[in-house]
């Protein structure tokens, strides 16, 4: 008989089910085996030092949900480390031998058994309306059951901790891979940028000469002007990449974020007009300065604006907001380009990840690195079907009252 219930309890506690379901099964089994009316299982919160009701089986009357470690019959059981057995002819009142416990009230037999090995995991609380004689054999059996329950809860907690640790390790690994990719990217980009810069300067120089020779001839000057402008843009980009890969080359100075954003926006003025994009500025004036490499930060806003323009090829609104919040200068850049597909959200900061035919997938990776190098934070608020907001938080310069390390 005893072996039967033990093997069943082991079966329940070793099952793959969630802990709560297993405890429910155990509570139901105890009720039928001991012919009690109610069985509750409490779990001990090690931090708060309280017993919390996990499951209840049997008739509807509810027991107390939480017990302090010095409260009621469960409190007595866990304090002494020994089970409490009460059997009497009359019904138990709200107070038993000076211990107040409403959960016992109205019953004739009550068992409160600690669930523990070296550590306390919880308590079993069983109640019956009838007077029951609990034989020494049954008491021993109950002790074994409680120990088995303790082992099951302990194993479960170990698995939860392990899963948690595993997840943290995987996250860390992913971040390491990201950092490694960026490092490789930095080296490659620097080499490429060096190679491209020289011929680019020649193209720029010759085009300017061509511009002088063509004079004001309207049939060609528009094209030549475009070439000059594009070459300038590429030169700046190459400069940015060379600086991006060389962290020691950061030139920090006290900067006004509005001013940097304004300069970046001017760069795209033609594109905004051409695509029918309205730029709404909601920028707080006279904010504290940030400590930044001006060219690098400009690259950040260039990249974000370029993405916004590409997302709003058929027009829209780009809203740029800046504000001072505690120790941060916060910039929010929102577009109405439809947002980012939820499925690709986790990839957008990865180098070389792009959904565009002619994209390099470097824009946001570079942006992320520059913001992080400035001890800042970049966040994305995606509103699927509407647009996306990039939030950039940069620390207020220490000279300006910022107190970041």
First vs last Cα of the chain: how many Å apart?
67
Please enumerate in sequence order all residues whose Cβ is within 8 A of that of 267, keeping only pairs 6 or more positions apart, or say none.
233, 302, 305
- The nearer residue to ligand ATP, 11 or 230, going by C-beta atoms, is 230
Distance CA 240, CA 246 (A): 10
Binding partner selected for residue 354 from Mg ion, ligand ATP, none, CB under the kind-specific 5 to 8 Å limit: ligand ATP
Binding partner selected for residue 155 from Mg ion, ligand ATP, none, CB under the kind-specific 5 to 8 Å limit: none
Size of the site for Mg ion (CB under 5 A): 2
Binding partner selected for residue 297 from ligand ATP, Mg ion, none, CB under the kind-specific 5 to 8 Å limit: none
- The nearer residue to Mg ion, 316 or 363, going by C-beta atoms, is 363
Binding partner selected for residue 156 from ligand ATP, Mg ion, none, CB under the kind-specific 5 to 8 Å limit: none
DSSP 3-state of 246: coil
Which parts of this chain interact with ligand ATP (CB under 6 A)?
303, 307-308, 311, 335, 337, 340, 348, 353-356, 359-365, 388
Dihedral sign of CA atoms 116, 120, 121, 127 in order: positive
User: Do 62 and 105 form a contact (C-beta atoms < 8 A)?
Assistant: no
Task: Give the x-and-dash track for 345-364 against Mg ion (CB under 5 A).
Answer: ------------------x-
* DSSP at 385: T
Region binding Mg ion by CB under 5 A among candidate stretches 14-22, 201-209, 286-294, 300-308: 300-308
Supply the minimum distance, in Å, between the C-beta of residue 268 and Mg ion: 13
User: From the list 109, 245, 307, 336, which residue makes contact with Mg ion (rule: CB under 5 A)?
Assistant: 307
Point out the residue whose Cβ comes nearest to ligand ATP.
Answer: 363
- The nearer residue to ligand ATP, 225 or 341, going by C-beta atoms, is 341
Long-range contacts of 180-188 (CB under 8 A, 24+ apart): 181/350, 181/351, 181/352, 181/365, 182/351, 182/365, 182/369, 185/351, 185/352, 185/362, 185/365, 186/244, 186/245, 187/245
Supply the minimum distance, in Å, between the C-beta of residue 277 and ligand ATP: 12
Distance CA 85, CA 2 (A): 19
Point out the residue whose Cβ comes nearest to Mg ion.
Answer: 363
Which of these, 16, 66, 15, lies nearest to 40 by C-alpha position?
A: 66
Supply the minimum distance, in Å, between the C-beta of residue 313 and Mg ion: 13
Binding partner selected for residue 152 from ligand ATP, Mg ion, none, CB under the kind-specific 5 to 8 Å limit: none
Supply the minimum distance, in Å, between the C-beta of residue 354 and ligand ATP: 3
Q: Which residues contact Mg ion by CB under 5 A?
A: 307, 363
């Amino acid at each position: 008989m005893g072996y039967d219930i033990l093997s069943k309890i082991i079966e329940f506690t070793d099952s793959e089910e969630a802990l709560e379901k297993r405890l429910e099964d155990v509570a139901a089994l105890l009720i039928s085996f001991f012919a009690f009316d109610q069985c509750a299982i409490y779990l001990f919160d090690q931090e708060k030092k309280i017993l919390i009701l996990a499951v209840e089986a049997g008739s509807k009357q509810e027991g107390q949900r939480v017990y302090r470690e010095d409260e009621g019959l469960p409190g007595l059981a866990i304090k002494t480390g020994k089970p409490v057995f009460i059997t009497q002819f009359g019904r138990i009142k709200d107070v038993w031998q000076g211990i107040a416990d409403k959960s016992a009230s109205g019953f004739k037999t009550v068992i409160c058994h600690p669930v523990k090995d070296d550590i306390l995991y919880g308590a079993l609380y069983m109640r019956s309306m009838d007077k029951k004689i609990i034989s020494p054999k049954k008491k021993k059996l109950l002790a074994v059951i409680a120990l088995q329950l303790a082992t099951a809860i302990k194993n479960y907690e170990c698995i939860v901790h392990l899963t948690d640790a595993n997840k943290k390790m995987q996250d860390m690994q992913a971040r390491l891979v990201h950092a490694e990719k960026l490092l490789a990217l930095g080296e490659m980009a620097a080499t490429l940028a060096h190679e491209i810069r020289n011929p680019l300067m020649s193209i720029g120089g010759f085009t300017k000469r061509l511009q002088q020779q063509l004079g004001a001839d309207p049939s060609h000057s528009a094209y030549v002007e475009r070439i000059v402008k594009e070459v300038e843009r590429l030169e700046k980009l190459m400069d940015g990449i060379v600086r991006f890969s060389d962290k020691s080359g950061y030139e920090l100075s006290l900067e006004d974020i509005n001013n940097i954003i304004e300069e970046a926006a001017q760069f795209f003025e033609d594109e905004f007009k051409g695509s029918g994009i309205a730029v709404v500025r909601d920028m707080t004036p006279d904010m504290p300065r940030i400590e930044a490499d001006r060219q690098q930060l400009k690259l950040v806003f260039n990249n974000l604006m370029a993405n916004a323009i590409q997302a709003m090829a058929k027009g829209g609104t780009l809203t740029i907001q800046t504000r001072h919040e505690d120790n941060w200068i916060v910039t929010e850049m929102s577009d109405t380009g439809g947002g980012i597909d939820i499925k690709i959200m986790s990839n957008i900061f990865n180098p070389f990840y792009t959904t565009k035919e002619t994209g390099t997938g470097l824009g946001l990776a570079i942006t992320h690195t520059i913001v992080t190098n400035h001890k800042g934070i970049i966040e994305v608020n995606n509103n699927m079907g509407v647009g996306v907001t990039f939030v950039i938080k940069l620390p207020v310069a220490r000279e300006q009252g910022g107190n970041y390390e």
